[in-house]
Structure 1
Amino acid sequence: MDLVKRLYHRFASLVHELAKFGSIGAVAFVLDTAVYNLFLLGLDWGPLTSKVIATTISSTFAYVGNRYWTFRHREQSGLGREYFLFFLLNGIALLFGLLVIGFAKYTLHLHDGLSLNIANILGVGLGTLFRYWSYKKWVFLEATEPIPVELPDSGIRQDR
């Protein structure tokens, strides 16, 4: 039992960060899949166009969630820099999805909604692995000094 406690304390911050990243990712995945199917099946747009639109919308949600919840304890290196890198890296992750969907449709000639959704899920999985690694490495950097949990007391009393 002592070993489990030591392991937990050693990896607690990573476990919590992964849980938050997974929660944001799960909501973004549902959003991505819903928008993808809306455009693909509901509006009869092509699978690649539908994927680009769905990823743009779900990535915007994921940026806000990851910046202000998952990685809020990490240094904030400027909204412009983070936003640019976040969407650049999401563009690279989008290529994983487009390649898998394109392979399914244009190489394997799978045109049905189920096959294209399975391809989408595989692409999202590959992109998620890349995104988690790249966000930690380049977008949401380690804090160079501890970030306080609460704002410092200003000495002014607010209870009048």
Structure 2
Amino acid sequence: MATSAASSPSLTQKLRGLSGEVVKFGIVGLSGFVVNFAVFWVCINTLHLASLRSNIVATLIAIATNYLGYRYWLYRDRDAASRKREITLFLVFSGIGMLIETGVLGFSVYVLGLDSHFEQLGAKVAGLAVATVFRFLSYRTWVFTALPETADETANGSAAEPAGAAAGSELAAQAELMLAAEEIRYAKAE
């Protein structure tokens, strides 16, 4: 089935949508950043844990807070039919991000000898920057998948509908998908 040019968004619209997503991802990430660094600082200075242990504890707590922000704010309109799959993938990709971040910190402390608290914070920032790019790409691609388009949207082109009708049909489509997911869940339970 061919789609018309009116039904597919332009490159400008896609980039505008992606930039809004990047900003929201950054806001959630910034809150995780604050949690991560606060816990890291407390673990190093108050609990006197080693830097890698402190990093792991801080990152695990930040992962939990970030999941809530991503699921219930940034990606709330994405498919949530398979929560077990979503959480599993989120934890796997977050764990890989944590390994990236901890690897950079470990390299700077144990190979380069940068072991003062401020040097460790700098290494943590560098590792977190690399891990953030990885997490953004993996979360949006594999974890929080987009809802599939309904046949009505692709055939009629949702851009031709008035704003109120588009919102109503989108809400109806989401409700239908949720009901279908519930029916599948109940069928598996029986």
| Same fold at TM > 0.5 | yes
Equivalent of 2:125, from 103, 110, 121?
121
Is 1:148–2:171 an aligned residue pair? yes
CA offsets 1:78-135 (integer angstroms, 9 cap, x no match): 2211111101111100111111111111111121000000000011101000000000
Please list, as runs of the form range in 1=range in 2, the aligned pairs for 1:9-158 lying within 5 A after superposition: 9-145=13-149, 147-148=170-171
Contiguous gaps of at least 5 residues in structure 1: 1-5, 153-160
Q: CA deviation at 1:19?
A: 1.1
Match of 1:156 in 2: none
Q: CA deviation at 1:8?
A: 5.2
The amino acid of 1:109's aligned partner reads G
Contiguous gaps of at least 5 residues in structure 2: 1-9, 151-169, 176-190
**What is the alpha-carbon distance in structure 2 between the residues aligned to residue 115 and residue 109 of structure 1?**
9
The amino acid of 2:147's aligned partner reads A
C-alpha root-mean-square deviation of aligned residues, in Å?
2.0
Secondary structure, in 3 states, of the residue corresponding to 1:148? helix
CA offsets 1:47-97 (integer angstroms, 9 cap, x no match): 111011101100001111001111112211422111111011111001111
4+ runs of 1 displaced by more than 4 Å? Answer: none
With normalisation by structure 2, the TM-score equals 0.71
Identity, % of aligned pairs?
Answer: 33
